[in-house]
């Protein structure tokens, strides 16, 4: 429900009034409603019906029942908000960015709830079943790209396509950021010939982070090595470097980005 509302708000407040067709059936509807006497919600539903019917035939009603309900709710909400709410800004770049943010958060909520509103997402899954050589991601790129080109051709304006690309980029960035976690960090892998305790002790004391030791072996020299792993916040990487500069200037360090740090000392940080 929440994802549907955010999708509808993005269209009503930012995208439709600025002719920003940011992919999907809603993007096609934004183009079509410029010369058809129908709202975005009704046009989206009209295009969704054959896709939903195909899904029911190919996948069965049990697979599509929740999607059908979500699709009707989505179209109704989009139509209602489109009639009730004015476009907040006619500055296309601002609209593209904020519309993308709302789209991204809405997409995240639908993904977490395992809900689909049909549309090109469902169409890509169906086509992937018939054309396995094309992944869902490639099909989505082709379809959304085609919709952006269609918008540029119909509106006779390259800029509306560029703003649509901005919206799609912001949407995917926001969705990835939320889905992959906002508690991002870094993993420091420290390869040292020194005693593990000489490095681990100061690291744990200064940073308040746990350190894990692995046994290693240098294949070139054949000598034993200690491999220490410590997970830190991005701002703490510099502290790790400074400590190692004092403790073991010859240590080899690999800093790997981590999408999310969960549990341990990171529960409330």
Say if CB 123 and CB 59 are below 8 A apart. no
In terms of phi and psi (left: phi > 0; alpha: psi -120 to 50; beta: otherwise), the region of 154 is alpha
Determine the pLDDT at residue 61: 81
Determine the pLDDT at residue 1: 65
For residues 129 and 245, give the distance between their C-alpha atoms in angstroms, rounded to a whole number: 55
Say if CB 98 and CB 68 are below 8 A apart. no
Alpha helix ranges (H) inside the chain: 2-10, 24-32, 40-59, 61-84, 92-112, 119-130, 136-155, 158-180, 196-207, 237-247
For residues 192 and 200, give the distance between their C-alpha atoms in angstroms, rounded to a whole number: 11
For residues 171 and 106, give the distance between their C-alpha atoms in angstroms, rounded to a whole number: 9
For residues 181 and 232, give the distance between their C-alpha atoms in angstroms, rounded to a whole number: 15
Place of tokens 């997402």: 121
DSSP sequence for 61-117? HHHHHHHHHHHHHHHHHHHHHHHH---S---HHHHHHHHHHHHHHHHHHHHHTT---
- For every one of its 269 residues, what pLDDT tens digit does the chain have, with 9 covering 90 and above? 678 889 889 999 999 889 998 888 888 998 998 888 888 889 999 999 998 888 888 878 877 888 888 888 889 998 898 888 888 999 999 999 999 999 889 888 887 777 778 888 888 888 877 888 877 778 888 888 899 998 999 888 899 899 999 999 998 888 877 776 666 788 999 998 888 888 999 888 888 888 999 888 878 777 888 999 999 888 888 889 989 998 999 999 999 988 777 776 665 54
CA-based nearest residue to 172, from 144, 146, 152: 144
Determine the pLDDT at residue 269: 45
């Amino acid at each position: 429900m929440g994802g549907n509302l955010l999708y509808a708000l993005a269209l009503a407040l930012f995208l439709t009034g600025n002719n920003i067709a940011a992919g999907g059936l809603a993007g096609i509807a934004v183009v079509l409603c410029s010369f058809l006497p129908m709202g975005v919600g009704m046009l989206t539903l009209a295009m969704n019906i054959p896709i939903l019917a195909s899904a029911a035939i190919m996948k069965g009603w049990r697979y599509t029942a929740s999607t059908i309900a979500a699709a009707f709710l989505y179209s109704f909400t989009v139509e209602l908000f489109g009639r009730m709410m004015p476009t907040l800004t006619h500055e296309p770049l601002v609209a593209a960015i904020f519309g993308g943010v709302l789209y991204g958060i809405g997409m995240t909520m639908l993904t977490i709830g395992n809900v689909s509103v049909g549309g090109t997402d469902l169409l890509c899954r169906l086509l992937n079943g018939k054309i396995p050589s094309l992944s869902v991601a490639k099909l989505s790129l082709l379809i959304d790209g085609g919709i952006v080109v269609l918008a540029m051709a119909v509106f006779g304006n390259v800029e509306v396509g560029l703003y649509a690309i901005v919206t799609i980029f912001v949407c995917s960035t926001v969705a990835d950021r939320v889905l992959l976690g906002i508690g991002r960090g870094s993993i420091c892998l420290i390869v040292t010939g020194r005693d593990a305790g000489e490095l681990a002790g100061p690291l744990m004391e200064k940073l308040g982070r746990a350190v894990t030791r692995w046994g290693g072996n240098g294949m070139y020299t054949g000598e034993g090595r200690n491999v220490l792993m410590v997970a830190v916040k991005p701002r703490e990487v510099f502290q790790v470097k400074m400590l190692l500069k004092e403790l073991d200037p010859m240590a080899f360090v690999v800093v790997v980005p981590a999408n999310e740090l969960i549990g341990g000392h990171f529960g409330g940080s």
